[in-house]
Structure 1
């Protein structure tokens, strides 16, 4: 059992404490009992010798009175039955020895020459008793007895007995303590093991499974609750740390993005200054030529031509910047009309042809034999293709080859590919060339010019037409290809003018026009009146609301940005009038994002037109009412 006890453990300490307590109690009890026993032992010896001396004195008094030493010696000889008494003597009244007795003849005792005072004394391991002999009230002599006083033997035997009892008691106490302390130490050892595991593994999900009662049970329960609380707080701290790490990652990413944007801004401003100075230099030189050579018409004409080309370049740069700004702020409007692909391509080639020829490039164009139509803005689509062609010409060495190829895919998509054999695009730049102010070749030695907005503008314009623009390149020096994908209008044969003419011949309607742009609303109103429609024009929201109930229009074309009462609130107010339940409300606005269309539909508008609005779009809505066809949720596309 003792071998199982590990030092410094609670169990060992409890056992040692129990044994120490038992040992102290046993020692205290043993010392007390020993003192008591020795005291009792001495007193018994004193009483016993005193009694023997008194008996000898009583029976020897006559012998002294008759001076009969023999009788006295016979009385002393009776002490042989008490082997502890080693010697005895009778002294007369005068103090002389009258008779003597010795237990053993071999060991002659030493008798005192004269008797001592009555009582007892311990001398050298012997107990000596003196008792007076009284006869008729007179002391006639003294009895002397000497006995072995075995105090040390008594002490030794008693110590052996007490030692055995103490060892047995301690062993029994150890066994009992070892059994009883398990109810205390086992739960505490379980708590210790769990605490050690928690410190080693940092796992706060561990629990003490040992059952206990009383204060120990309360301690175990409190320890488990403490672990549960620490686990909860540790988990919350870990979640907070993960959240903080995520926020730090996001913040660092935002900081990197801001630094990158700031660097791009600086690069853009430097590039803008460079690109604006480039055309300004020949313009200034041309002005100097025209001023100094007024009499030379040929030189003046050449200078004017140079100045026109450079001015167009500056206008192109400014227009691109303005278009990007309009797109970012949602102010760029796209006309949704029937557009022929061949016309768009011809317009784009007309714009970019001088630059291609100046670079000495050869260009091949491949278009479908039949006319292909898309719904969009012819000017913006031509701008997209001219930007792609201009970009290809800039990043191709002089005398390169360009190609524009268009085809209609099986799924009804128009695919226009603009390719070149120029410097190409590195793989890591393919996803970035469409970012604002990013150029594939940003070196100072580049021969191409630009602000890095052409591809970004082209992609956004294509997306506004419901299409997509992607770039491809096998790497630097392998050329590049940009692919425009647009939805094709099915079943269109180019008869738009006839259709519009037919729409103008429909039945007349009562039309309410509300717009604060006087020129626009008056022009549209006059045109509709020439077609036989009854038109009422208002220039603010309250005026339109006041006139609507009495006018009872079939159609109400409402500007969203009306003074005093915006178009959304005006539409809700008109919908609340019982006499206008069949009135078709049409939103007319410069805001064309999806959220703007959703707001218009929520306000009660049946259609949404994006400025500038053409008369064809208005006539299509009127024709839909004439033929009882359902109105489009967005007539602008």
Structure 2
């Protein structure tokens, strides 16, 4: 085949007289759609206004007639026409009411009133109770009753300027309609260029190919999007026809197959993109709270790197928040939860002060930023809840954040807790903008804003309180809002069931064990690096430590060593940790040994198996040394009551 020269056809603008062009059709379609929509809305609004205007005047004039009838009944009963005229004279404050009259039960006019100085016109006889609209005037008749007896009739006539109101309304709607049509035409005229210009270029090239049978011409330009795909496909099609015109049918089949593949790929991309958005939305919401204190901790490490106390405090904060993030990442791996958008809570035994500390870590910087005074009042004794520590902290942080947000700078935010029977009552109060009485029943609804009238720069999306209520209900509790009104602060009260357990019995421990700060500790784990490092730390603290790496050696050491504490792995070689615990309990000194299971199995059934085997505590790997220190330092931690 000979080499052909590729040429480009310049883009020709459509002729102004071409009324059948895509450009004209797009503009006409946009303007016509806008006109029909606006015209329908205008007619509906006009008819609705006519109806409401009429009903308003009828109800207003009926009410006025009813009032006059009520105050004029005694005057009719005592034939006091002077008082009746005085009652009608009150109508002068209503210039729309042209005239009024009072008729006796016999039909005679008893008193009259007219707004203007001209000779008044009254009906000769009273009509039936009701109203009549004649032209631009509205007449109302109302009976005067006393103790069920008809004393007379009240007549009122008022201006009913429905035509003027409809004319004004129609002029306004007409102006809006015309302005909207002009704007729609301008916008459509501008937007259509992105579609018609590439299409016109394709049309010109197609015309050139048909007239000259020259398949070397191409559509110039490199547009993006679907129009760009169309231009590229058109050029490719011309090249294919030029090279293999005899195989046109085969090329069409190939193109059709490619379009189907592309369509399936687009559908797959759309599905993946939607799932990505759902995942990112969940991730952003769930990780926002723990990320804030972690970032603050990094700032502390950067700014106060030489301050050992500040560095330790920042490290502790970041470590606690990292644990929360690990827990949240585990939740996000639950495909069902991500697809359904439902919260999955993991129930466990948590202590109130730990939950409050986690919540304060999230919101303290925000409260301090607003200069608020933060007051915390918690029970002296530990209070345990059966719930999800992360979600419980999220409830309190949402409420504290909400209190700080709607309190003017330098306000007061308090968190108090008390125990009533077997219920924990937590109150989060502030002296902020307060809540209107009619809003108290709606503040927990999704997207409801407490402060919808004031211009507040910190207003959120209105989901915090709704989320807090759902989390409280998932924990078997309730939440309510209280406020003295606008400007008088607000209070949110959360009630949650507490865990009530019997007092733990004291261990029969020798006196030397009670007074000494050095303990005999047995460590049994087949992870040599882990157990040796823990043993070195405990030995450095002055404790007597024996390290073993399998079950039989650990049992032999326990019989000889009589440990005060034994930290045992469950998956030990030759003998499981469960069997080892049972064996230690059978030893003469086994009753005074506090057994701690250290394992990577953390399900509730694993904890139950450990307690049934004789363990006093259950720790899930990775274990921090602070957890071991806490068990050693708490002298009142005794064996959990079994059975």
Asked if TM exceeds 0.5, the reply is: no
Which has the higher Rg, Structure 1 or Structure 2?
A: 1
- Normalised to the residue count of structure 1, the TM-score between the two structures is 0.35
**TM-score using structure 2 length:** 0.34
